[in-house]
Structure 1
């Protein structure tokens, strides 16, 4: 564990190892998303109550899962940056925020579209909907804080603190259906318990979730590599790399 943390102190090492990992995650993401979308949108049976409108679950649920996971990842990266002063952790947190905000918006929008045939309305101040909207504002706050300071380190510390404090919203999102009356039903699919969904419906959903996570990892690796080059542009190894490309 400590050896890995010490290696993370080197942007050069992360740049090199991410180059090897990135193609595998891109390939996995493409294959999983293609398989999951075709299976879920074409071959999965229609829901006995919602009909074909339920198929938006194959976008809505993975986006919602990923939106929450990215914020937790940002909070952990912020903690690593604040405690061990590891620059790569802050670079990763920087590139994660826009994707997290995008996934939160996708989850909210797809949920609103799904709500029309299911609830008869685009929006209700439902506990889970409201907490997801707060998550979107937290993402926008983190992004805004990074650009609100003349010093990059000051912006990074402020964004890290907000991410670490704002992570309390994640369990609120998860348990909102248990703590308050909400239009959202409890989870139909769990890894540890028996699923209320037939295998023909939850299997493509699981594949889509895995595909979304592979996409997140691949994109984070790619954008972190770009961030490393941008921040380390004056370092000798970056200049040598640029010369090799030329």
Structure 2
């Protein structure tokens, strides 16, 4: 978590202070240093949740079930940040806080899917039964991830196309690109650290009556 905060601070300084203003959007574009990494993480976390849900349902692996369910709140938070920062960016660029653009709408659907998984998981008294029901929804909803990603290519949208290409040349200046990539790395570390803490707490709660859990509790009390 410390590394995530450090990288995030470096990225913000690079994006908000060191990076030059955009020749068209001026300083308004700087919100991308939060918006874009959050959008990437919203899709990445949903993909992780979907894969973990599939593993949990097919092979009945409890750890995969925990990873899927504990990823949902983190993913929902990143998706919410994406939508809020997108609205703040859209107002000066498009003249409106919201439009039913394909990218915005599919990202909103992604938020509803995250919330649906969280709601289903908590709707059952039996947590394992709730996790299985939520896992089905997560797997069904994974079809929305490529829709979010490719929406700007498949439909005529207001949302600008991609300027960062993993396997090709990016059209963004390096002065702007390195803070963006650094923030992306920071969000990855944040997700990993947050997921580890949440999964550990949830797993200890599920296995509360077992000897190894009591041993961990005794070891922590002894420190």
2:7 aligns with 32
Deviations 1:19-51 (A, max 9, x none): xxxxxxx24312211111111111100001111
Residue of structure 1 aligned with 2:156, choices 162, 165, 181 = 181
Distance in 2 between the 1:39 and 1:93 partners?
Answer: 33
Corresponding residue for residue 207 of structure 2? 232
| Structure 1: gaps (5+ residues) | 1-25
The C-alpha deviation readout for 1:85-128, integer Å capped at 9, x for no partner, is: 11111111121111111111100000000001110100000000
Q: How many residue pairs align between the two structures?
A: 221
Within 2, Cα distance between the matches of 1:241 and 1:168?
40
Number of the residue aligned with 2:175: 200
The answer to which of 42-51 and 87-96 deviates more is: 87-96
Provide the residue aligned with 2:79 in structure 1: 104
Query: Which stretch of structure 1 is more off in the superposition, 145-154 or 98-107?
Result: 145-154
Deviation (angstroms), 1:74: 0.5
The answer for the alignment partner of 2:123 in structure 1 is 148
- 2:110 is aligned to 135
TM-score by length of 1: 0.87
* Cα separation, 2, equivalents of 1:241 and 1:43: 46
Provide TM-score, normalisation by structure 2.
0.96
Q: CA deviation at 1:129?
A: 0.3
> Bigger shift: 142-151 or 68-77?
142-151
Deviation at 1:149, TM superposition (A): 2.0
Tell me the residue number matched to 1:57: 32
Unpaired segments of 5 or more residues in structure 2? none
Structure 1 stretches (4+) deviating beyond 4 angstroms?
Answer: none
Distance 2:218 2:160 in 1: 57
CA deviations 1:180-224 (Å, max 9, x no partner) are 110011101112111111100111101111111111011101111
Q: CA deviation at 1:80?
A: 1.0
The answer to whether structure 1 residue 212 and structure 2 residue 190 are counterparts is no
Match of 1:79 in 2: 54
Q: Distance in 2 between matches of 1:230 and 1:239?
A: 11
1:159 matched to 2:134: yes
